[in-house]
A and B are shown apart, each in its own frame.
Chain A
Amino acid sequence: MMSPQIALHDPIFCAYLWIVPFSLIAGGALLALLKWGFKKEIRSMWRTYCSWLIMAPLALLVVFAGRIPTIIGVTLLAIFGFKEFARASGLYRDWWMTSAVYAGIVAVGAASLMSHPHGEEPGAGWYGFFAAMPVFAIALILLIPILRNRARGELQRMSLAIVGFVYIGWMFGHLGFLANTNNAYGFICYIVFATELNDVAAFTFGRLFGRHPLRCKISPSKTWEGAVGALAVSMLLPWVLRFSFPFFGVWQLVLTGLIVGIGGQLGDLSISVIKRDIGTKDMAATIPGHGGILDRIDSLIYVAPLFMHMANYYYRLR
């Protein structure tokens, strides 16, 4: 269903091959206008933009390469995202818990890659195993203190491991599972593009009109104006890019807009809650201008599973 040959003949993927570079060029032109037209200081925005110039083509390349590279790519992002979470929360010192979560994330990737062993579910990807994965991972995590015969401080470790697995490993893993759907190119390209655009829109509207803090105890720089502006953009986008899912009706398009527009903000804020409690500004300094991998994928963590289950409810996806 996904391969380089199919991708080149897929009208949806080819459309995104134009949309993504066009958006990057438009963003660059806007920054140039800010710098030379309005004489604004844009150094930090420029760094963020330069990272986009690398990340966006890389993401397109992975999707172009096919189903297996996409799922492996998502799994790797989840692994390194969890690693950042573990390093920030101190869980990385506990090798047992960390390895249990890594094993769980790899299993999520494997469930997305393999088919049902008796062929009871159509298409690639073992949906039942994928959906039940938290049961196995949490069982494994709860087993560890029993095996090691220790109780002191274990509740904190177990909780951190479970949050790390469910949130970063499993929920984000839904993005990889979308590669098994019939409309994989449309879903993956739209979800990633719309969510990142939602982030950029929130930042832009916040910078332009931001007055009222959205959640002052969590993230002081986010504003209601930014959130509402981003929501407006995200509500509009499904209609603009309707070719990504031609079979969607009006109700599904509205839901898609709401999931991306609100879910994206919530994903951002929920990682901010974690960061605020730990007392760090960024999860890591992996991507210049963005922070860590987790700071970049935070909105997708919220959006990908909600979108997948919404689409799965209305249509047979595989």
Chain B
Amino acid sequence: MKKWRYDSARDLDQTLVERLRRFPREPDMLVYGLRSLVALIIRGWLRAYHRFEIVGHENLRDNGSFIMVANHSSHLDALCLLAAVPLRKLHRAFPAAAADYFFKSVPRIWVAAVVVNALPFARQVHVRQSLSICGELLLNPGNILIIFPEGTRSTTGATQDFKSGIGALVAGRDVSVFPCYLDGAFDAWPKGSFFPRPRKVRLIVGSPRNYVSRTAEKINICAIAAELRDAVKELGRNNGYD
């Protein structure tokens, strides 16, 4: 008789927290089920409490890998962008989250890994390494990367400068980049506030851009970051905000 080949999970000898912290995570049916359920609840909550509305939803009908880039002023932002992703693609949508904030304490790791499906992004120490993890992710068709290139939540609600890392990630890479503008999230749940307030939140999804023809030189990278920031701000301006 030929020997059976067991295809064990690669994180078998790791503790629960280590398993949640590692990336990419192993597929887990129970986690997927819980995440889908929580996503439905969050979508309901956003609709009812924040009268959440998505403009330009049809732009996201893309079966390849793509990146969503948005302004960042609130913890609601990642949840809103996730709410724009079709439910069947939910487990392949990865918001990049600060490793030094979301992957520190056990409850935060649990929320980040199970509910949000976050990609731990080491924004302070290993930026290059984190960017290469993002790049590998985009090689698999169907993965969605959600990035807030400001690097942190804005304390005033105004969109800050984009870090050049986003340029390094998309320059010369054949992926669609969707600029997105989030309006109202800052009023609803600003940094430092404990609980969200019932303010209207709107997400505007712009048309995709592609930077495959650009080279990854320093000057190019910074230009792309600035262009993307302008595109995001433009979306807000065209719709009467900012």
Contact = CB atoms under 8 A, between A and B. Distances in A.
Contacts of B30: 79, 83
Given A83-B30, A98-B29, A89 B6 contact: yes
A99 B29 contact: yes
Nearest to B11: A87
Interface in B63-86: none
A72 to B, nearest CB: 16
B8 A280 contact: yes
Contacts of A87: 8-9, 12, 26
Nearest to B18: A285
Nearest to A83: B30
Interface string B91-130: 0000000000000000000000000000000000000000
Interface residues of A, number: 24
Given A83-B30, A98-B29, A99-B29, A93 B7 contact: yes
B28 A280 contact: no
B194 interface: no
B14 interface: yes
Given A87-B26, A99-B29, A156-B4, A92 B9 contact: yes
A281 interface: yes
Given A281-B13, A286-B15, A286-B16, A90 B28 contact: no
Interface size class of B (residues with CB under 8 A): 10 to 19
A62 interface: no
A88 B6 contact: yes
Contact of A285 (B7, B15, B27): B15
Interface string A62-105: 00000000000000000100010001111011010011001000
A26 interface: no
A196 interface: no
B9 to A, nearest CB: 4
A285 B180 CA distance: 41
Nearest to B9: A87
Contact of B8 (A90, A98, A102): A90
Contacts of B16: 285-286
A88 B9 contact: yes
B12 A280 contact: yes
B4 to A, nearest CB: 5
A278 B9 contact: no
B35 to A, nearest CB: 14
Nearest to B4: A156
Nearest to A274: B6
A281 B8 CA distance: 12
Interface in A264-301: 277-286, 288
A156 to B, nearest CB: 5
B141 to A, nearest CB: 20
Contacts of B5: 90
A98 B16 CA distance: 20
Contacts of B4: 156
A99 to B, nearest CB: 7
Nearest to B13: A285
A187 B208 CA distance: 65
B8 A278 contact: yes
A285 B8 contact: no
Contacts of B14: 285
Nearest to A291: B13
B6 A278 contact: yes
A93 B27 contact: yes
A87 B6 CA distance: 10
Interface string B1-39: 000111111001111101000000011111000000000
A284 B10 CA distance: 11
Contacts of B6: 88-90, 277-279
Contacts of A90: 5-9
B127 to A, nearest CB: 30
29 contacts: A79-B30, A83-B30, A87-B8, A87-B9, A87-B12, A88-B8, A88-B12, A89-B6, A89-B8, A90-B5, A90-B6, A90-B7, A90-B9, A92-B9, A92-B26, A92-B27, A92-B29, A98-B29, A99-B29, A102-B29, A277-B6, A278-B8, A280-B12, A281-B13, A284-B12, A285-B12, A285-B15, A285-B16, A288-B15
7 A-B pairs closest in CB distance? A90-B7, A87-B9, A285-B15, A278-B6, A90-B6, A89-B6, A88-B8
